[in-house]
Structure 1
Amino acid sequence: MTFAQRRTALVAVVLFLLAATFWLLLHMSSPDLANERYSFSGIVDHWQQGSNLTSGGCSNAALALASSQELLLDHPLRRKNIAVASQFGYHFDVYMALVWSLETVLRRHGSGSDVRIRIFAQPFYYGFRDIVAKLDLFRGTYHPHEQFMEAITGETGDGAIDLIVIGTCEVDLPNWHSDLLAAWDARDQDHKFKVACIVHNVPDRRWQVHISDWAQRDSLRLIAISEHVQRTFQLENDQHAESSDPAVYSAGYQHIQVDTHPPVLDIPDLPDKPLNRTLSKAVIQGTFQSLRRDYTGFFSDMITSLHEDPAAWGYQPLDGRESFLPDPRSSDPAFQLYLVGSGWIDIPPELTYMVNIYRDLDYSEFYSVVADMDVVVPAFSEFTYYTMQASSTVAMAVELDVPILATARFRQAHSYTDDDRAIVTRPAAMREVAALKALRTRDAESFLRSDPSGRGRTLGDIPPLRDAVQHMVDEGFVRKKDEVRAYKEGVWRRNREFAARLLTDM
């Protein structure tokens, strides 16, 4: 191409860009712009769902624009009078996160005296009522759970409760099933209610005998708190739908909608942590039971690593003592492991100065302790956490801006965390203690030179494993606050979109 041709092409490009800019400015005030808002939000949302995102991301300004122009409802509001009910003394942080999403949608799109949400539950323990008020999650009214059925049967015409959110399906539905079913049958066709049941654990079958009654009435919707539980329920429903038993296949299992709503709240005043810090604080959160968390395996791996290289963790050699002691000469803070949960647990004497135990914290204390961590270690001891059972640990880590040290399998199971801004991805062959050491020292050579199987070949001899380890070390564990915020905006947007579908029967 000659110089003259290149110059002509450049001029043409400039003229095209000027024309496009003029067209965009001209149409910014067009009434049709409202029809474009949902598409723009969807583009940003699709970008955020990518499974290979780096720690870079969309700016807060762009996300704020998408949020401000969000068109949540493109179908008529069908559910306006909502009851959230639970007799269970826990999981209120789960169903109140859904209430927050529902309230957000209703505040933007609902109006009139018949638009309201009521809570029928036990008192919120551990100071969670204060959290609800501080975060402005809910502006409706609270009632004892004993008044729930009276509210259902007391008003059955216009203005009656038309959507019931059951806080914990496994506990609550068996207790209310018969009365709710009778109330549903007693209403005329124009005033039937829907039941949206929050599920936590697929193997808990006690309540599932009632599913067919609600499925036949096309009045049940299941809500999981993570995608892997949603997928397993969908698979089981599909299997029931093709059962050879007429009592099962005639119930309409295929048509039961199953959705996911991760219970991630917008916790304010999270700490600003130095970007150049050394990994020195990790937390395992959950009930102190080895059936749920592999405390025994983690402790054993840590003691072995301390014997091999105590300085890497900021400790002195054991030298005949019962416990490893922090090394005051270390240039980095000694590594500390925090156990936050409930129950009792025995700590090996070698780890006396490393392990810190926090029991039965209220929510504000819990947020303060966990938000100060560098990483959350799931330490799952059961593979059901990847297929059958949800863990609130995951949502709590996300809402507190603490990255989770986890595998690719974890990311695939808990799909809403499948983002480098939420996860520090360790190779499955690299156990959690080895990954923590590599992240702390920024060096994984001791791991790569090891031969745990005794086959005569090191782990570093596996090229994809070496590459994955190096990628983990290079990416590190530190995440920028604004980028994590942008990631969470995507989670909240998808939650609001689900709430909109729930309110419109879509």
Structure 2
Amino acid sequence: MSITPSRRVSAVIFFSFLASMIIFFHGTIYHELYKHTHQLQTTEGHEHQHLVATEEERQKQLQDEFDRQMNIAHQHGRPSDPHSAPNAGPASKRPPPGPSPQNGADPDHSAPVEFPSHLPPTMVSHEHAGSIDIVIVETTGFHDEVSAALVHAFGSLSNARLHLYLERPRYGLLDVLKSFNLSSPIVAVNSTSEFGARGPKPQILVSTTCEVDPLRLDAQFKSLLEERKTFLYCVVHHADRWHGSENDVALQPWVREGLVDFIALSEHTANYFREHAVSEPTLRASTVLKVLPPVFPLVFPHKAKALSDSRLEIVVQGSYETTRRDYQGVFSTLSDLLGQRDDNRHLDRNLTLHLVGHGEHPTIPEQLNEHVFFDEKLNYIPFYSLISDSAALLPAFAGSEYLDRQASSSIAASLIGGTPVVVDRAMLDAYSYLDEGAVWVREEGESEMDVVTKLLASTPELIERQKHLVRIQCRQIVAKNIKSVSRWVEVALRRLSV
């Protein structure tokens, strides 16, 4: 077919018009890209100064959403606490005492609860989901930090889907989980009341508080055991509460079937459990026990405060109950220390003791009012940030239970916060995952405050170097936890396939 001259002219005109439009749009797009690039370059210089404001706005938005959901929850008969925002200050200006994160503490039913509707959209993902359905369940409303450590360890598997059933996630726990760079997605966060009613049946079930979970979810646990398609990991908190107990009886069928491994939070609690917990002699030999220190990585929104020659901050973390922490002993030795100022020039440093806990306040001697502060109702990130700003964490144990049958949250908190904990040789033996080079060692005959006296004479550079070693050890333990869980799950799946 031939093209006539008139058609040829029309074609030339058309293509000329098309070319001009392409040039016009190309120029427009280039101009817009240039403007966008210029705006990015201009904005980049201002981002740092707006970082704090942005973080504060984000926290305020999160708190506002908490308050909104609490109003809804209150209308449905759930308790709420409008005074749950983080606060801190001198003891004389404190609001009524409240809770703080603590492993083994009683659940605080006035704390703000993060129901599944609080879950940030970026946290729920169905992309790149693997073939292993893992459920982590916690029915008591506490042990949030242990839940976080389990989520990080099991969520670091490359071929899994995580389903969380949490009774009362509190204190910004979901904010902590959101910060994790997990290989496997968190598919859903539900209330424990929905366990068994929604979501898939798991191949791996992790009971975060195994003294209670199997009893409160008795029907669901029994149903899974009957099908024999689920392997259970049972996390032990109180090794002395198992022998002959209801949970001991409830777990015996799982032990007989070879479908459960127990997880202790430290080697010393594992040893106690191994020797005392299982009441059925024929099952004791077949009980498999693992150890997983409850630590996880945490990126703080703000850089830790620089240490100084003029001040020193130390922290005691945990319940204000005198049966758990020897506060009067701490106050007595601190008073003695401050009374030596005239004889020791190193004591000119301003010394501050933060009590991060919950419960009824212990009585503070009048001479310590300017040195002791109660820090309460902190969300997890501010909680660990406060620890990270300190030079040392004092366990201040009132008894020996944290050395043989129960794991203290203070040890894990020091690692997560990146601050050395003060320990003696017995504690190093009990918490064998601690590196002697990343703690402050209290030698025989020394008190915890004797170690603080040494720190007052130390340089900020020495203390910062020790804090750096703590952060390194935390990363090493986290990496080891991931490797351990990977091996455990591989073996568990093989046992399910037999």
TM-score class, shorter-chain normalisation, is 0.5 to 0.7
Per-residue deviation at 1:493?
1.9
SS in 2 for 1:416: coil
Where do 1:174-193 residues align within 5 Å? 174-185=215-226, 187=227, 191-193=228-230
Cα 1:480–1:309, aligned 2, differ >3 Å: closer, same or farther? Answer: closer
**Structure 2 unaligned residues grouped into runs of 5+:** 1-129, 493-498
Q: Secondary structure at the match of 1:197?
A: strand
Q: 1:350 aligns with which of 355, 358, 367?
A: 367
Q: How many residues align?
A: 356
Aligned to 2:163: 118
Per the TM alignment, residue 366 of structure 1 is displaced from its structure 2 partner at its CA by 0.9
Compare CA radii of gyration and give the structure with the larger one. Answer: 2
User: Which residue identity does 1:212 align to in structure 2?
Assistant: Q
- State whether residues 98 and 499 of structure 1, in contact with CA within 8 Å, keep that contact through their aligned partners in structure 2: no
Q: 2: distance between equivalents of 1:177 and 1:168? A: 14
The letter for the 2-side match of 1:228 is H
> Could you report, residue by residue, the CA deviation over 1:293-312 in whole angstroms, capped at 9, with x for unpaired residues?
00011111222333344564
How far apart are the structure 2 equivalents of 1:134 and 1:403? 23
Cα separation, 1, equivalents of 2:365 and 2:307: 33
1:168-219 per-position Cα deviation (integer Å, ceiling 9, x unaligned):
112222212354124312x2xxx52111111111122342232322211212
Q: Does 1:286 align with 2:318?
A: yes
Deviations 1:293-335 (A, max 9, x none): 00011111222333344564887xxxxxxxxxxxxxx4x3x11
CA distance in 1, matches of 2:310, 2:406: 33
Work out whether residues 275 and 478 of structure 1, in 8 Å CA contact, stay in contact via their aligned partners in 2. Answer: yes
Q: Percent identity?
A: 24
Structure with more contact order per residue of length (Cα contacts < 8 Å, sep ≥ 6): 1
What is the TM-score of this pair, normalised by structure 1? Answer: 0.65
The aligned counterpart of 1:147 is 194
Residue 217 of structure 1 pairs with residue 257 of structure 2:
yes
Query: Hey, what's the Cα distance between the residues in 2 that align with 1:414 and 1:226?
Result: 6
> What are the within-5 Å matches in structure 2 for residues 197-212 of structure 1?
197-205=234-242, 206=245, 207-212=247-252
Secondary structure of the structure 1 residue equivalent to 2:319: coil
Tell me whether 1:258 sits opposite 2:289 in the alignment: yes
Q: CA deviation at 1:230?
A: 1.4
Counterpart-to-counterpart distance in 2, 1:494 and 1:267: 16
Match of 1:268 in 2: 299
In 2, the alpha carbon distance for the partners of 1:261 and 1:377 equals: 23
Alignment-mate amino acid for residue 239 of structure 2: V
Matches within 5 A, 1:22-421: 80-105=132-157, 107=158, 110=159, 115-136=160-181, 139-151=186-198, 160-185=201-226, 187=227, 191-205=228-242, 206=245, 207-236=247-276, 240=279, 248-250=280-282, 252-269=283-300, 271=303, 274=306, 277=309, 280-309=312-341, 312=344, 330=348, 332=349, 334-345=350-361, 346-421=363-438
Mapping of 1:430-449 within 5 angstroms? Answer: 430-441=446-457
Change beyond 3 A, Cα 1:437–1:483 = closer
Ranges in structure 1 where 5+ consecutive residues have no aligned partner: 1-77, 241-247, 316-329, 443-472
TM-score by length of 2: 0.66
Contact 2:165–2:190 under 8 Å retained in 1: yes
In 2: Cα distance, 1:209 partner to 1:362 partner: 37
SS at 2:152's partner residue? helix
Determine the C-alpha separation between the residues in 2 that align with 1:234 and 1:405.
28
- 1:481 is displaced (CA, Å) by 5.7
Aligned to 1:462: none
For the aligned residue pairs, the C-alpha RMSD in angstroms reads 2.7
Partners in 2 of 1:404 and 1:163 — Cα distance? 34
Q: Which amino acid aligns with 2:191?
A: P
Say which is worse superposed, 89-98 or 475-484, in terms of deviation: 475-484
SS of residue paired to 2:135: strand
- Cα distance, 1:484 vs. partner? 3.6
